[in-house]
Structure 1
Amino acid sequence: MEKYVVEAFAEPACEHNSVNQAHKGCVQPTPGAASGGCSFDGAQITLLPIVDAAHLVHGPIACGGNSWEARGSLSSGSYLYQYGLTTDLKEQDIIFGGEQKLRGAIREIADRFSPPAIFVYSTCVTALIGVDLDSICKSESKVIGIPVIPVNSPGFVGSKNMGNRLAGNALMDHVIGTDTPPIETPFDINLIGEYNIAGEMWDIKELFDQVGIRILANITGDGRFHKIRWAHKAKLNMVVCSRALINMARKMEEKYDIPYFEGSFYGAKETTLSLLTISYMLNNQELMKKVRAFTKAQEEKLAFDLTKFRKKLLGKRAILYTGGVKSWSIISALQELGIEVVGVGTNKSTMDDIERIKERIGESAKLIESGGASKILETFRNEKADIIIAGGRNMYVALKEQIPFLDVNQERHHAYAGYVGLKRLAEQLVYALEHPIWELLQSPSPWKEVGKE
């Protein structure tokens, strides 16, 4: 396991390893602390959206429930990924070893569900007691006749971002390149780091279908194991979720000569830029022409559809507290709607993300590096904002303070990607700001009115 962790920390494509940086490698984790989630959590975020595979957590029951059904990654078919499968290690298993329990669980899953593959996740407990996950998975794969893939990402090795990379390593080492697609086209691409939250990948796919671009493999939103196996045959990789899986894109470029770029589908401008970049990198004149005409028509239609929403949103001030690609790409979407972003959370953003934030909002806006709810509220009041746009964990803080709130993180139920997604975002923002509850809260309490009489 150690070699996987060291490799992930020393990722050449990460900005922490740039020659311009004073330090080499990502920041080492502090024992007992994993800000924003642990490595095990990050690995599950990446791999659970492979919907037809079985996902087995080798550890205590609490680890199994850590991320179970906590995110809105949707499926268009198989729902095996929603099963909470765990070996449920007890005290005696930890003392005497849980190898037989793991082998029994793998065989039971194979007999009961007949999945195309089983992903087995290590946890802090199994890593500390020295379970040889690689050899067990290898031998069990021969017994049951399907791939059993070890995911060496115990929580103590780092943050969620580290877990994303370790999951990417597992796919590179055991999945990608193990099969070939029945047909290939010049316009085959992979989406890396798109998890189909609230069905966003389906909206993106619809855009691609209209211009003739084919998604060869979804890595991993609404993913299918057999399609990820042939991802090495794509002509281009697009990294959608910040730089969490940058290691996979970099390795695929080195090993399979597949170029990659990082893009976003939040906001009309970002969506258009991503589509144009894909057509440019695929180097097909006919595709470029088709994409230019398509994006122009989509932007014109969207501008008309957004007219009534822009009138209500123009001049509103927002605090955006999220991370990764959303920390800068949603800024573009909000600005297109006439909203001024006056504060942005950066605690989960890379250095590249922060530079993109500054490019979009300038030096005057407040960057919220840490501090949680208290810092968000302080910035909200100081900047005289109108709404907080953040993740679900900050929702109740906003509601207790009687502040309009919109959830944009992985637990949300609305898809905001693409042109149609920007319209949904506008609708939800107007709904949040104009909800009748705010007027009701400003009115006197009924018992006070009775007292006056």
Structure 2
Amino acid sequence: MAACQAFGGFCPELSRAAKKGCLFQAKRTFAQAQQGCQLTLSLAILMTMRDVVLIVHGPVGCGGSLVGQTGVTKNFQKLRDEQATGLRWMNTNLDETDVIKGGEEKLRSAVLHAEKEFRPAAIFVLNSCVPSLIGDDVDSILDEVQKQVAAKIVPIHCEGFRTKIQATAYDAVYHGILRNLMEKKYPEADLIRAEEEELMRQYRLSRTVNLINVSSMSRIDEVELVRLLKALDLNVRILPCYAHPDDFETVDETALNVSICSTHDDYFVEHVKTKYGIPFVLRTIPIGIANTNKWVMDIAKFFGLEERARKFIDAEVAELNGALASYREALKGKRAFLTGGEIRILATAELLHSLGMEIMGLKGYHFDRFGARLLDEVLEEVPESERAIFSIGSGQPFEQANLFSKHKPDLYVGHTSGNGSAARQGIPVFPLFGQQYNYMGYLGVFEVAKRVTRILKNTRFNENISRHVKLPYTSDWYRQEPFSYIDDQGASKTTGEEEHHGD
């Protein structure tokens, strides 16, 4: 993956640097990590799946964050299937002796125990750093054990040290799924259908789309996106999150794969197109009015439903604009800073802009060709983005703290990992996503407007925090340029104190 993890400058500079190709050579001479690894992001997807067992092959600490997700996973699985069993997780618990002698026997025992204890449809084995470094032959062990168990065994090679780009976890998960869950139990050639039944089936498939969801969206988001697609008279199947392993056997029985995040889905949809010839829509995430319009219209164009889609969009936007009038008045001129995945923050920037807010800055965990395309659209559609700061890098809270000391935004939008440090600087915090909230589609715009307005009505809580709790950085650091530890990549140095000294 050609991706950048170190940049600090303004949005137009980032766009130009991406086009020149030199952007991907940038690096930090000092870094302060604050994010998870490829394994933890893989777990975020796989722990949602129904009737599976997850085996983390590694020390007991790897994947430990799953403990806090047990109840949440079960509750949200049951929103899709009342019979769902929730999270079933094991760890091979490698210790110092295993590092010397190998952990293959522990892995074999764990798979056999998972089969005997739970009888799942699939067993996902996530390989962590330690067994990869000591040379455990995971694939050979699992091939051998597969003959002894009924569950499909799916190896996921998501060792954290293999990449600095967390989003590579999506490719690792899809690679395992595509290789091990796509085989049909009953080949199409063996099915005998009446001619009329077959014609009806073919018609249904010609109007069916696979909606590729993400673990960071809610069930309410899914319902909203299904509503939009049903308005075009389409059948919708949702995967991979909260899906059953058997659902992947019919992935090819569709007319179109519909992505809501190119960073998340490009590996999957490209592979399915290559193998089965199924086209895909992979442009933007349906957050905000403009991006939801584009998303709906792209799908409509594929089915030749442009006129129907235009009428639907016009009606939805007209009703939404009427409902947003009072919120736009309250939010007019408020300045926001957004942190998260590149696709989501760029789309959310458009949403906040449509509510009358100004985008002070954005911080993406990485930046690649998908972000570059969406950034150019934002530069064209959101005028103040010409002056907006764009920071790239997972973690690096010291850079964010420096920026906020000079350019204090009215609102911080981000993941839980960065929300705490923003709150300590007295900045109101709005989560970038949540399993109980609606962000996507037209209903998502209204929900975000309502919640952001409520948060900004009373900011006293965060102001009180900032008076009593301080971040662990010296005053000398706050006087420096925030991106001084990034090797020169052509970015402007006017994002620091020389332009806003004393703010």
Match of 1:169 in 2: 175
Q: Which amino acid aligns with 2:173?
A: A
Q: Does 1:373 pair with 2:379?
A: no
1:241 and 1:324 in contact (8 A); partners too: no
Match of 1:16 in 2: none
Residues 427-436 or 351-360, more deviating: 351-360
- 1:191 corresponds, among 203, 211, 222, to 211
Give the Cα–Cα distance (whole angstroms) in 2 for the partners of residues 157 and 394 of structure 1.
Answer: 24
Give the Cα–Cα distance (whole angstroms) in 2 for the partners of residues 440 and 314 of structure 1.
Answer: 21
Structure 2: where are the runs of 5+ without partners?
4-18, 192-200, 469-503
Give the Cα–Cα distance (whole angstroms) in 2 for the partners of residues 355 and 341 of structure 1.
Answer: 18
Change (3 A) 1:359 1:206: closer
Q: Does 1:349 pair with 2:367?
A: yes
Change (3 A) 1:142 1:260: same
Secondary structure at the residue paired with 1:63?
coil
Match of 2:299 in 1: 278
Secondary structure at the residue paired with 1:359?
helix
Q: Which amino acid aligns with 1:403?
A: I
Match of 2:477 in 1: none
Deviation per CA, 1:399-447: give whole Å up to 9, x if none: 22221111114x66423111111111112211211136359859x99xx
Structure 1 residue 67 displacement after superposition: 4.7
> Following superposition of structure 1 onto structure 2, how do residues 246-325 of structure 1 map, counting pairs within 5 Å?
246-262=266-282, 263-281=284-302, 283-285=303-305, 288-325=306-343
2:33 and 2:396 in contact (8 A); partners too: no
Give the Cα–Cα distance (whole angstroms) in 1 for the partners of residues 355 and 92 of structure 2.
Answer: 49
Change (3 A) 1:373 1:95: closer
Deviation per CA, 1:319-366: give whole Å up to 9, x if none: 112223112111111111111111111342324314523532442211
1:322 and 1:348 in contact (8 A); partners too: no
Match of 2:222 in 1: 201
Q: Which amino acid aligns with 1:343?
A: G
> Following superposition of structure 1 onto structure 2, how do residues 49-448 of structure 1 map, counting pairs within 5 Å?
49-69=48-68, 74-75=76-77, 76-77=80-81, 79-80=84-85, 82-158=87-163, 159-179=165-185, 184-192=204-212, 194-195=214-215, 197-199=217-219, 200-218=221-239, 220-262=240-282, 263-281=284-302, 283-285=303-305, 288-360=306-378, 361=382, 362-370=385-393, 372-409=396-433, 413-435=436-458, 437=460, 441=464
Change (3 A) 1:265 1:388: same
Deviation per CA, 1:268-291: give whole Å up to 9, x if none: 22112211211211x244xx4443
Secondary structure at the residue paired with 1:222?
coil
Give me the identity figure in percent.
22
Change (3 A) 1:27 1:97: farther
Which 4+ runs in 1 deviate beyond 6 A? Answer: 25-28, 32-35
1:240 and 1:325 in contact (8 A); partners too: no
2:62 and 2:128 in contact (8 A); partners too: yes
Change (3 A) 1:168 1:267: same
Change (3 A) 1:322 1:334: same
Give the Cα–Cα distance (whole angstroms) in 2 for the partners of residues 238 and 374 of structure 1.
Answer: 38
TM-score (norm 2): 0.75
What's the Cα RMSD here?
3.5
Change (3 A) 1:261 1:440: closer
Deviation per CA, 1:107-164: give whole Å up to 9, x if none: 2222222221111111111112222222222222221122111112211111322221
Structure 1 residue 396 displacement after superposition: 1.7
Q: Which amino acid aligns with 1:277?
A: D
Structure 1 residue 22 displacement after superposition: 5.6
TM-score (norm 1): 0.82
Match of 1:15 in 2: none
Q: How many residues align?
A: 423
Q: Does 1:41 pair with 2:40?
A: yes
Give the Cα–Cα distance (whole angstroms) in 2 for the partners of residues 45 and 396 of structure 1.
Answer: 21
Give the Cα–Cα distance (whole angstroms) in 1 for the partners of residues 38 and 463 of structure 2.
Answer: 44
Residues 426-435 or 84-93, more deviating: 84-93
Q: Which amino acid aligns with 1:94?
A: V
Change (3 A) 1:332 1:9: closer
Give the Cα–Cα distance (whole angstroms) in 2 for the partners of residues 189 and 113 of structure 1.
Answer: 32
Secondary structure at the residue paired with 1:306?
helix
Q: Which has the higher contact order (CA 8 A, sep 6+)?
A: 2
Change (3 A) 1:436 1:390: closer
Secondary structure at the residue paired with 1:244?
helix
Give the Cα–Cα distance (whole angstroms) in 2 for the partners of residues 68 and 33 of structure 1.
Answer: 26
Q: Which amino acid aligns with 2:315?
A: A
2:156 and 2:173 in contact (8 A); partners too: yes
1:343 and 1:379 in contact (8 A); partners too: no
Secondary structure at the residue paired with 1:56?
strand
Give the Cα–Cα distance (whole angstroms) in 1 for the partners of residues 242 and 369 of structure 2.
Answer: 29
Give the Cα–Cα distance (whole angstroms) in 2 for the partners of residues 107 and 61 of structure 1.
Answer: 19
Deviation per CA, 1:262-310: give whole Å up to 9, x if none: 22111122112211211211x244xx44433332222222222222211
Give the Cα–Cα distance (whole angstroms) in 1 for the partners of residues 236 and 259 of structure 2.
Answer: 13
1:327 and 1:353 in contact (8 A); partners too: no
